[in-house]
Amino acid sequence: MTEIPAALVEALRAAKRVLFFTGAGVSAESGLPTFRDAQTGLWANYKPQDLATPEAFARDPETVWRWYQWRRRVHADVAPNAAHRAIAEFETRLPDAVLVTQNVDRLHELAGSLAPIHLHGSVFRNKCAQCGVEMPEVPHDLESPPRCTECGGLCRPDVVWFGEGLPEGPWKAAVEAAAAAEIVISVGTSATVHPAARIPLLAREAGALVVQVNPEATPLDRVALNLRGPAGVVLPELLSRL
């Protein structure tokens, strides 16, 4: 069991504004492979980094669409784990907790988090690749992207692809929460994908204590109090000490 420093428990009890910042590792114990994990089955020969780009969609929309449809089916089959539930419970127990996630799943919502700020969108939303208008969810076995009724463009998932900017509203809200936070708890992220990875650093620059929950080392190690271990074990333990 990871040792939880008593000083951290004291700091959490005293803190008003706590920011949770999560990545794919928080959903790993639900059975969702992290983005950089090897893929399985039909998609084993593809690298996510080569599919999640506007160039890949422009070149081969069918393949990218089918990959997301497969991911949607995988995502629809998994349930929140103890880490998602602990974060939702922290949100009710702390006076002013904000959750910023890079994840495109909806496991935080299913665990009871009311308003996670999604920096990278959601696989369960669609938009037009051409005019950007929101498009409805479609059955997860539809093999080709439908056309936009406004402009005839192709439907794509409303997620942020490599090389694309972050949605303005969520990014602004996350930066404001980082500037105001007294404590940031970064959970299950490799802290390598920018600009999202700036969030804990911005908080740190503004004087926040940065806590990191991750079984592996990341670039955040040098500025963080590191709790090494799986989020589904460490977060419930931290919660039980509050």
- What amino acid positions are annotated as catalytic residues? 120
Residue among 30, 126, 186, 218 that touches ligand APR (CB under 6 A) = 218
**Residue 231 touches ligand APR, criterion: CB under 6 A:** yes
Residue 60 has φ and ψ, to the nearest 5°, of -150, 75
Closest separation in Å from C-beta 28 to ligand APR: 4
Closest separation in Å from C-beta 76 to ligand APR: 19
Residue 40 has φ and ψ, to the nearest 5°, of -120, 175
By rule CB under 6 A, what count of residues binds ligand APR?
Answer: 21
Residue among 84, 118, 120, 156 that touches ligand APR (CB under 6 A) = 120
Q: Using CA atoms, how far apart are residues 124 and 232, in angstroms rounded to an integer?
A: 24
Residue 35 has φ and ψ, to the nearest 5°, of -55, -35
Q: Token pair for residue 119? A: 């920096």
Residue whose CB is nearest to ligand APR in the complex, by number? 25
Contact region with ligand APR (CB under 6 A), list: 59-67, 85-93, 176-184, 213-221: 213-221
Q: Token pair for residue 189? A: 């992220």
**Residue 2 touches ligand APR, criterion: CB under 6 A:** no
Closest separation in Å from C-beta 176 to ligand APR: 20
* Contacting ligand APR within 148-207 (CB under 6 A): 188-190, 193
Q: Contact residues for ligand APR (CB under 6 A)?
A: 23-25, 28-29, 34-36, 102, 120, 188-190, 193, 213-216, 218, 230-231
